[in-house]
Amino acid sequence: MTAKQNELNIIQPDDWHLHIRDSEIMKAVLPATTRWAARAIIMPNLVPPIVTGADAQAYANRIRACIPNDVEFMPLLTLYLTQETNPADVVQAYRDGIIKAVKLYPAGATTNSHNGVKDIKAVYPVLEAMSDAGIPLLIHGEVTDTDIDIFDREAVFIERVLDPLRAEYPELKIVMEHITTRQAAAYVLNSSSGLAASITPHHLVVNRNIMLSGGIRPHYYCLPVLKRESHRLALIDAATKGDKRFFLGTDSAPHLDHAKIDLCGCAGVFNAPHTIEILAQLFDNLDALHELEGFVSLNGADFYNLPYNQHKMMLKRVQTPLKMKKKLETNQGNITVFDPQMPVYWQICS
């Protein structure tokens, strides 16, 4: 039997899909990410959303004002695609270095997505300009038709929306964000260059049973919703086999507890506080620690044509399980931290 590895030294990771909200909540949740990530793609679904280059610049300024001078962290901004989006504004914001990508939310698909796209063909002029300029499109890949089962929305989106879109604009760089199904993983694996996918920690470590067995557990409710075990295993296979088209996007999405435990509770999992430790344990359990650096530190940077981070991160296996924080206290209330439902013996040392 091979001895277990007790230390791991990797290039500092990034987060390629992150929600940090705004104002006081942003101040409270941002340190959970900056303690381990050097960069993060920041989601634009605020109220009101980040829809123009000027909006993105103002949001970036607010984010930077929350980062202490001794913390090195680069927020990478995105625009919220609407049917009124101006292609010239998108291209200019990208060329000016204000944004790194554009986010497509189908209207009604998730939190604060009511301003999203109802007719994909209505935004084809924007997508054409993005394709020409090399601007990545980040997609929340679900249909919202009421006749489609919520567990099938991702697979149907691929067939109805994504496949025709890629046929129309084959040079457009696309990230299928927070994929949750074996169909999505297979679609990326069977596609040509220019298509990638981000995967969350929670979709890698738990399935829908944790949300629905023994009572409804609202802190595991997210969108796309957790799927059955066979899908989780397909995501694990994609994340741990060294394929450069898959990388970490936490989709860490904090909500105050009173908004989660409500008559219509919000979708979102706050996993940022322990993301790297959880993933180190998962990859260790699967004898795949040698693939962790690629998934969390290298593959996303390669897709976005960015240099690797200069700093390194040391992880060590400890004898007793990590005592994970259960709640983040804010001046507006508590935010429950994601519980992976497994012991974690890895910790960040530097």
**What's residue 1's pLDDT?**
43
Number of neighbouring beta carbons within 10 Å of residue 149 = 8
Q: Does domain 7-348 have CATH number 3.20.20.140?
A: yes
**What's residue 286's pLDDT?**
97
Q: SS3 breakdown of the chain: % helix, strand, coil, rounded to 5?
A: 40, 15, 45
Q: Which amino acid is at 150?
A: I
pLDDT band per the 50, 70, 90 thresholds, residue 3: low
Q: How do residues 38-57 score in pLDDT, each as one tens digit? A: 999 999 999 999 999 999 99
**What's residue 63's pLDDT?**
98
pLDDT band per the 50, 70, 90 thresholds, residue 116: confident
**What's residue 350's pLDDT?**
66
**What's residue 114's pLDDT?**
81
Q: pTM higher than 0.95, yes or no? A: yes
Average pLDDT, the chain: 96
Residue 111 has pLDDT above 90, yes or no: no
Residue 64 has phi, psi (to 5 degrees) of: -65, -30
pLDDT band per the 50, 70, 90 thresholds, residue 192: confident
Where in the chain are the domains? 7-348
Q: What is the DSSP string of 151-166?
A: GGHHHHHIIIIIHHHH
What are the residue numbers of the active site?
251
Residue 178 has pLDDT above 50, yes or no: yes
Residue 2 has pLDDT above 90, yes or no: no
Residue 289 has pLDDT above 50, yes or no: yes
